[in-house]
Amino acid sequence: MAIILHATPLTNQELTLLIDRVRNNLADVPEEMLESVVVYESLKRANQLVSQLVMADLTTPAYQRECIIAVGSLYAYQSYTALAARRLGNVPESAAATMANLQAVARALMHPVGDTPIKPDLTQNDEWISTLKPCVAIKGNSTLDLPIQLDPVYR
């Protein structure tokens, strides 16, 4: 049985260094509506998700950081829209399009390095397992290597 190694989560210090990158992705969000603590918590959630879904042998640390930034940007924007809805009574007009764009970017980055297909909401798609055909691999001697001897009845 093959062992799948998932990516190692980033440290808290490494996540702190990514806050500005997320803020750059969300340049249209007013800074007072999205505090650094919220961005950091979004990055922590993204770090957990990415380390669960991304396989270590298919990615580099730099690519893993890009995945975390993309997912963290999505989570931070979700927090912003929830806060905007509470404070202002509605979400910005462009929220749906921005959310769809952030989801698409995060999914596009994570799809090629994941061990299972990823749904648009960035969760694992376990339904694909039911479509797989069973197979068996056996290591060792095979009876097929033995000479075939037919019974006298079939000669």
Task: State the average pLDDT for the chain.
Answer: 82
Residues β-bridged to residue 43: none
Residue 51, pLDDT score: 87
- 155 falls within a domain: no
Q: Where are the alpha helices (DSSP H) in 17-59?
A: 19-25, 36-53
> How many other CB atoms sit within 10 Å of the CB of residue 4?
9
- 4 falls within a domain: no
Structure tokens at 121: 């909401």
- 144 falls within a domain: no
- Give per-residue pLDDT as tens, 104-141: 999 988 887 776 777 777 777 767 666 666 665 555 55
Residues 6+ apart with CB under 8 A from 124: 53, 114, 116, 117, 118
Residue 128, pLDDT score: 61
| CA angle centred on 68, ends 106 and 26, rounded to 5° | 70
Residue 58, pLDDT score: 75
Residue 151, pLDDT score: 54
- 57 falls within a domain: yes
- 45 falls within a domain: yes
Residue 138, pLDDT score: 53
- 134 falls within a domain: no
- 89 falls within a domain: yes
Question: Domains in the chain: how many in total?
Answer: 1
Residue 1, pLDDT score: 43
- 39 falls within a domain: yes
Supply the range of the domain harboring residue 27: 12-128
Is pLDDT above 70 for 22? yes
